[in-house]
Structure 1
Amino acid sequence: MKIDPRGQRFSAALATIVLLVVLATGSWPVLAAQAVVFAIGVFFGLRHHPYGLIYSRFVRPRLSPPGELEDEAPPRFAQGVGLGFALVGVAGYSLGIEWLGITATAFALGAAFLNAVFGFCLGCEMFLIIKRVSPKKKEVHA
């Protein structure tokens, strides 16, 4: 499936705001809610991602059509990376290991900020590197 890359930057901007709130408050329930948002993107696709739904309903209709579309797989993988950091952060905050919660949240924030401000999707780049270095499947001819 192809997606509008501007929607990913919009979603990253909203995630940046949420993650800043988490760092400012230390609220693991807010981080848990962000983890659910990431999980929806990973398991149900970016069409069902809550921030993507906001973008497609309220923002995209006010913009010109995108210059190009991109493959959904790399941003979906990036959502999985965000989910991983969010889950570690929730565990840290909820178990009283504050440094772990702060560190994991800060890593997720850094990645979201890079995408929101500069259009650089760190998780997407990880996906492409992993894909490049993974052994290729050999075709079996019957």
Structure 2
Amino acid sequence: MPASPRTPQPAPTAARGAAPSAPAGIDPRGPRVGAALTAVLLVVVLLLPGAAATVALAVVAALFAVGAVRGAQGSVQGLVYRGLVRPRLAPPAELEDPRPPRFAQLVGLVITGAGVLLALLGVPGAVVVAAALALVAAVLNAVFGLCLGCELYLLGVRVRHARS
């Protein structure tokens, strides 16, 4: 059974020249704080009129793109967490696999990017729908620790293992 995103990850110990089986774990509180910051930005998107909302959603999509490329810990929200929040907290009780939160950033990019693209193509309500979908996911993660993108990642891992 694959590890859940909340499963503690041991520090990688690879033999010389061998790649570690899993990347080093990350503090699970970081993605939750990042989700809270993203939720605030998405509320702003929903409050803005017309073209301003499209531009704001494009900014959120760009933030998701950074997170998808660099991982949740390398996102702007991750940098805010590490610089402002993490120094005030005790060390985490456990670490989580960084791959599910990174995939979740990609899912957020797809949703918000589609909203921006559809808005630019003139589809009415595209920004509102995309922002609302992303907001629901961000709030679930920030408040309840339920990362929908992480769960999609784990489902994909299970399906891939079941096929092999």
Work out whether the TM-score is over 0.5: yes
- Residue of structure 2 in register with 1:46 after alignment: 72
- Which whole-Å CA distance do the structure 1 matches of 2:34 and 2:116 have between them? 20
**Structure 2 unaligned regions, length at least 5:** 1-23
- Residue of structure 2 in register with 1:95 after alignment: 121
The code of the aligned residue for 2:25 comes to K
The code of the aligned residue for 1:21 comes to V
Structure 1 residue runs of 4+, over 3 Å off? Answer: 135-138
Contact 1:91/1:101, CA 8 A, preserved across alignment: no
Q: Aligned residues, how many?
A: 138
The code of the aligned residue for 2:54 comes to W
CA deviations over 1:120-140 (Å, ceiling 9, x no partner): 0010011001110114686xx
CA deviations over 1:25-77 (Å, ceiling 9, x no partner): 14111111111111111112233210100100110000000010000000000
- Residue of structure 2 in register with 1:126 after alignment: 152
**Structure 1 unaligned regions, length at least 5:** none
- Residue of structure 2 in register with 1:15 after alignment: 38
**Within 5 Å, which residues of 2 pair with 1:79-118?**
79-118=105-144
- Residue of structure 2 in register with 1:2 after alignment: 25
The code of the aligned residue for 1:7 comes to G
CA deviations over 1:96-136 (Å, ceiling 9, x no partner): 32322211111111101100111100100110011101146
Q: Secondary structure at the match of 2:74?
A: coil
Give the counterpart of 1:67 among 84, 93, 103.
93
Contact 1:74/1:123, CA 8 A, preserved across alignment: yes
- Which whole-Å CA distance do the structure 1 matches of 2:33 and 2:65 have between them? 17
- Residue of structure 2 in register with 1:77 after alignment: 103
Q: Secondary structure at the match of 2:115?
A: helix
- Residue of structure 1 in register with 2:12 after alignment: none
The code of the aligned residue for 1:19 comes to L
Relative to its length, the structure with more helix (as a share) is 1
- Which whole-Å CA distance do the structure 2 matches of 1:2 and 1:134 have between them? 22
Give percent identity, aligned residues only: 49
